[in-house]
Amino acid sequence: MAITTRYTCDKCGTGQPTAEQFWSVGVVVEHGGEIIQYRMRTCEKQMHVCRPCLQLLGFYRESGPTPPALPAPPTLEELIREIARSQVSEMTGAT
């Protein structure tokens, strides 16, 4: 006699023989008093979802190509030189 376990997505209903591509997603609602410093868990909703449903819910994103690196910001010295050049060009252009 063999026992077979089948894992089923709570959102879409698709099933798989392994739990490797399933995640537990849940919402916990907490409240706490302002005077008494404590937190108490009041409600918990949890479901087990497959990877496509996890992507639809916005919790999982495939790792894609890394965005290109931004150019390095100008240094203080470069900014001072640019300001000096613009001032000199204004003075020479005005005469």
Number of other residues whose CB lies within 10 A of the CB of residue 62: 6
Q: What is the model's pLDDT at position 77?
A: 93
Residues 45/30, Cβ–Cβ less than 8 Å: no
Does some domain include residue 68? no
Whole-number pLDDT of residue 63: 73
Mean pLDDT by 10 residues, the chain (95 residues): 87 88 78 54 75 83 76 91 90 69
Domain membership of residue 41 (yes or no) is yes
Number of domains in the chain: 1
Q: Is 38 part of a structural domain of the chain? A: yes
Q: Is residue 75 part of a domain?
A: no
Which residues share a beta bridge with 40?
31
pLDDT at 32: 63
How confident is the model at residue 70, as a pLDDT? 84
Can you give the pLDDT at residue 43?
A: 56
Instruction: Please report the pLDDT score of residue 76 as a whole number.
Output: 92
Task: With respect to residue 87, please indicate whether it lies within any of the assigned structural domains.
Answer: no
In-domain check, residue 70: no
pTM of the model: 0.47
- C-alpha 49/C-alpha 26 separation (Å) is 10
* pLDDT at site 94: 55
Domain of residue 27, residue span: 1-61
